[in-house]
Structure formats: C-alpha cells, structure tokens
Structure 1
Amino acid sequence: MKSFVEVPANSDFPIQNLPFGVFSTCENPTHRIGVAIGEQILDLSAVDDSIWAGIDANLPSAFKQPVLNDFMSMGRSVWSAVRKTLQDDLLAEGSSSQEKIAACLIPQATAKMHLPAKIGDYTDFYSSVHHATNVGIMFRGKFLL
C-alpha cells in the first residue's frame, strides 16, 4: 500500500499507521481533528462530507468537533471503516480524490497538537495492589510487619 503523499522512509506515519489527533495552526487556531501521514496532517474537518457516506450519518459532525470523543464513541466498526476509506480511497496512490485531499493537507511543522479527548470523570488511580502499596509507602514510609 502506497500513498500519493510523500512519506519519508523512516517516518512513523506511513499509510499503514494513520494516528488520529487534534491540532490547530496559527492561521486557524480552531482545534480540529486530523490524521497524520508522513510529515503532513489531513484535516478531517475540511474533507468533503460525502466521502464518509455509508459509514455513519454522524461521522461528518464528529470530525467537526474540537476533540475525538464523538468519533471514539462510535466504536470499532466505524473506526475500521474510516481507516479503510482513508487508506483505499483518500490517500492511496492514484486516488480519484487526490486533488481534493491534497488541499486538506497541513504540514505537521506548522501545527500545534492538543489533548485529543475530553476526560470527564475521575480515573481510578488504584489500578492494582502494587499501585496501592507504592502509594502507601510514599505516605507512611516503608516498614516491616
């Protein structure tokens, strides 16, 4: 699988690894969702909504949010369909959407990355007996019974 987007040989973001994130630029300080490829970010909020037809009716709206929460809540089947659409139809070498997609690419060097999700609830710190023991040692010190 090869992309029309130039991807350096040592890149962490070839077409096989398309990580989602939230970014902004000086020209457009709005936080928006994108996917990294090579040294570029594909601005998913700028991609033509019709590209997502047949995946999920709420997908265009989810990609216009300032965080990934709505997209993440759609589940694995939607995530997989989006990734397949990105790899096969949008970013693939010879894609019929190449001109439209090229207009939505932002150089990573000009982007500022942001926290990709809004965390709404408390996350339990005590995820194991080892964490609980270590926290206890930090407060009480180490002692033998």
Structure 2
Amino acid sequence: MQRTKEDVLAEANAASKNTLMETLDIEIVDYGPDFLVARMPVTPKVHQPDGVLHGGATAALAESVGSFASHIFLDIDNKFVRGLEISANHLKSVSEGHVYAKATFLHKGRTTQLLDIRITDDNDTLISVCRLSTISLPKKR
C-alpha cells in the first residue's frame, strides 16, 4: 500500500514528539517530489532579547527540515542521517507570525547530501538562506 501525503506528514510530525522540534513548535506542513516545508511560529519563545527571531532558532528550523528531507527521500530503513554542517545567512528580521523553511536538494548522493533551505515569513519575504550537508550511514544490524 502506498502512503499518502497526509500519512507522510503525520508520521514526520509524530516523530517530533519530545524533541527540539516539539519544543520550538516546528511542524512539517508540505512536501513534494523534490522539496519539504516546515513552519515555526515566531513568538517570544524563539526571540532574542530585543524581540526578533533568534538566528539559532532559525538554524534549528533549517537543520530540522533539511534532516527530515534527507530521511524522507532516502532509504531510512537501512540508513540513518546526521547533519554535518550548517550555514545561515540572515537577511531580514521578523518578530511575529510564522517562518517557513523550504528544503530542496542541491546534491542527493548515496552517502552525502547538500540542501538549500530558504526561510520566508507569512508574506513570502526571504528571511534567511541556509545550506545543510548531511550524511547517510548504514544502520548496524
């Protein structure tokens, strides 16, 4: 039986229970054949002291959506995925609403992956651009 889009999203969000993703209220909201989108509310919980979105929370959102993308689009029955490196360029601040992270692959190799992650606000304004490299390794049997 083939899993539906709703099944995949529900499974991804269920896997986030008791994790940083749940703490930051990150939710996987959409995916397609070559992308994955997550949403995070911008509230005081993710603000820096002057009331705007903390860059660390943005990086956590980007790494979460990028790692999930690698999990969904790779053979995770036999492999596990870990982040290797993340970079983030913050272009604009945001203090309320939601931010959306859309991860797309620049390289989808058997062992290493490189993802481009664009962070936008509710008005589709570009907030940050991130790059994430991940590695997939065989699970020990």
TM-score (norm 2): 0.26
Which protein is richer in helix relative to its size? 1
Higher CA-based Rg: 1
Between the two structures, name the one with larger relative contact order (CA 8 Å, sep ≥ 6).
1
Instruction: Specify which structure has the higher proportion of strand.
Output: 2
